[in-house]
Structure 1
């Protein structure tokens, strides 16, 4: 049997390490060269945001290649309800897919049908690019794909919180991803956007505990590096330390401020 390359052991790592402590990039700018640059940094993975970002299937497939050339696993967040794109992204070589607005057991089961091969799901065969990237034979890929790829359900509504045990109990759902912004909107009935609060932390602690009980992992989005560290301290296994646009603008603001501060002192 072909030895599993380090990049393709990511799924095993997040599923078996307990508190894995992983930090991922998050990219919505639909430009593979942005992926190329950020993938050189010390991120453990790269998420391509196809829900709110502007990626299409062709550009996302090219971005997967950029990720893998840098030795980083690519994970894609699909648009709401577009479960069919999950299998296409896995075919392109993604290590995992994140599905937003998974609010029920039925939603979770529908996602698994597209993302996992039988006996767990009904994923159709056609992983041409994945075979090239992973350098596996077709038989080896079929035997290992359900283990080496991640199916991640987003928890970001009251309905998802209420159904969390049922969602985690669906075989083929490997973990959850918490969207604190949408969760804060849901919990306040649309009154506020407040992702970095004690209320959200309490819900996150509950979600982490349920994931641990089901032997599954928890991911969450952090608004900045400090917040991402707080999420890791709460027990999340993978966190995002803000989006590409936030990092880009923060870097620009820092450079501008540095230049003007230095000039003003001379």
Structure 2
């Protein structure tokens, strides 16, 4: 991944070299999510964008949560609309619990319910020593990656009918922590743990909860948060010998959101290019 220039957070798809594949020209839907309403955080780029495109082509309407990347979010919106589905853009910072609740409120106001909640938005920062981690950086990563999931789930539950699905984006880092990404590692382990607990707590309400554990995936988060030498070696982190593309995760998120996965709850599915999870 030597061609991509360094970016400032939050990063933009248009600056990513080589470009990422979100399934824009490859994903083919078969109606597996027809009529469902999905909230996807971080849906302007990366994994979230690929999931939004796949969900729309499977028949779902999509609420696109994003921080500030207006052009990227608008691009996701047009792909959803080209699939014949409705896309709502909700801009704001998930660090604020009030924004999390407002995102759910806008969804319910427009669609009347939440069938699928994909907790995907995340931030990380590469630090060579523990002492280098600023207090405010720790707080922001925890709030964005983990606390936002708590607030979104809590706000969504009253509006989730029987058969609904909660999906958390965990990471290979939850089991194999990268020492330079400790705050991020902690949140990804927390997401896996929270999701497993929710699966048990919500079973009698007919609401399923699962998580996906990606390995190295090529998204704007990589060049915005990692030094160039680490980015140069990103392809080498996977046994397959290359980074994964966001499009390669979308089918797993589709399966977990679909009624076909009616007995799948409490699972954590690895999409890691051969890196095992415990």
**Scaled by the length of structure 1, what TM-score is found?**
0.39
Query: Under a length normalisation based on structure 2, what TM-score does the superposition of the two structures give?
Result: 0.37
- Pair member with larger Rg: 1
Q: Which fold has the larger relative contact order, with Cα–Cα distance below 8 Å and residues 6 or more apart in sequence?
A: 2
